[in-house]
Structure 1
């Protein structure tokens, strides 16, 4: 029993450090020209969270995610020291007042100072395109390799946030592929997902997903189905 109590005395402080911060909102937006936005943090306890807020430019190239430290968005404060029960407001604003024509994407990262503490990454988008209609998504299904791939090309000026991705076969049968958040396709970028093999090679069917505004979007692959000799990973 004494050994068990000693073990709990070691484990419980570590578990207390791993509590989650409450973040509001979880998706951030900055206007195209001037203006700022705020992020609220709350530490419900019982542990103490210390760390740094970082701004990363977010891009998608060669079917992969790329992050690079950026000075295009300013944050205050950047050093965070939050005991249990503390609340903190962080201001975010563009470094330049020059308007942007197309949406820019960033990741706001809360990097912990100590091992075992949780790390957070929130999307931030800057821009209000002149035509804020839903993103224009073009669909390709590549079946030439050992792993079928779904590729989405976003020809719009704003990002697409996809959730509950499913496939509807030609006979109307629907299969959920990814429950919850499937991922983002940034403006003028593309992204791809691996698909489970099907005997029909996904011919004659269509994909469906929900966008960030809750709309149900239908994604019909272009014909014919595009084959790739070697599918690239995401």
Structure 2
């Protein structure tokens, strides 16, 4: 019996760390006025998941992602208590019916009550229902010695969700750089990706990525820019 108790004590923390919540959908869209959207959560077990729903405004600045607690979107309920096998619907709705001039980005954080449980972050976008709008992406290759970065600027009014980022050489040879989700570029914002080194320095080639609607975009970078060295502070 003592050996059995010791074995259970060793296994339970691992099971707690493996505890996961299923979320549908994984990307949320909220009408700016007179609307709401729903998030469904399912706890497949075997443990109990407790936590809270937090709303954070999401912004991108060069080289960094910024989150700040926000009251522009409301969640109901905010406290979650899901035993094994339970399902829970969370309503998300705007705090104000005032129109928005540009798409707003948020992160829905599912923060666990127990540190051993996983934490989840889901994107939510709030915009006027004016029909589909494609992002407008401009690419720039930034060189810093032998290191290269791909910088994308989104001049459109909606976010861009990029997946399967690949590079194609001038003679048509393509290599996959980031399989699956590469990341988001918010409207009127930019994001950078560190690129693996190449002997040709990415000269003469172009990048490919897939957008959220499944279409493929070709990203032909401008002439590589030289990254400015950081000031020594003197």
Q: Output the TM-score relative to the length of structure 2.
A: 0.92
SS in 1 for 2:12: helix
Q: Is the 8 A contact 1:105 1:123 kept in 2?
A: yes
Q: Distance in 2 between matches of 1:129 and 1:136?
A: 19
SS in 1 for 2:226: coil
**Which residue in the other structure is 1:50 paired with?**
50
Alignment of 1:117 onto 2:121? no
Aligned-residue RMSD, C-alpha: 1.7
Q: Is the 8 A contact 1:109 1:119 kept in 2?
A: yes
Note the C-alpha offset of 1:153: 0.3
Q: Distance in 1 between matches of 2:100 and 2:81?
A: 34
**Which residue in the other structure is 2:182 paired with?**
182
Q: Distance in 2 between matches of 1:199 and 1:16?
A: 45
Show the 5 A alignment for 1:31-110.
Answer: 31-110=31-110
Q: Is the 8 A contact 1:53 1:78 kept in 2?
A: yes
Consecutive unaligned residues in structure 1, runs of 5 or more: none
**Which residue in the other structure is 2:196 paired with?**
196
Q: Distance in 1 between matches of 2:31 and 2:153?
A: 25
**Which residue in the other structure is 1:211 paired with?**
211
Q: Is the 8 A contact 1:107 1:121 kept in 2?
A: yes
Q: Is the 8 A contact 1:140 1:152 kept in 2?
A: yes
Q: Distance in 2 between matches of 1:102 and 1:145?
A: 38
Note the C-alpha offset of 1:202: 1.2
**Which residue in the other structure is 1:225 paired with?**
224
SS in 1 for 2:35: coil
Q: Is the 8 A contact 2:24 2:41 kept in 1?
A: yes
Q: Output the TM-score relative to the length of structure 1.
A: 0.92
SS in 2 for 1:166: strand
Show the 5 A alignment for 1:93-172.
Answer: 93-128=93-128, 130=130, 132-172=132-172
- Aligned length, in residue pairs: 229
Distance 1:123 1:104, change over 3 A: same
Alignment of 1:15 onto 2:19? no
Q: Is the 8 A contact 1:129 1:158 kept in 2?
A: no
SS in 2 for 1:8: helix
Q: Distance in 2 between matches of 1:218 and 1:128?
A: 28
Q: Distance in 2 between matches of 1:50 and 1:131?
A: 38
Higher strand share: 2
Distance 1:201 1:146, change over 3 A: closer
Note the C-alpha offset of 1:203: 1.6
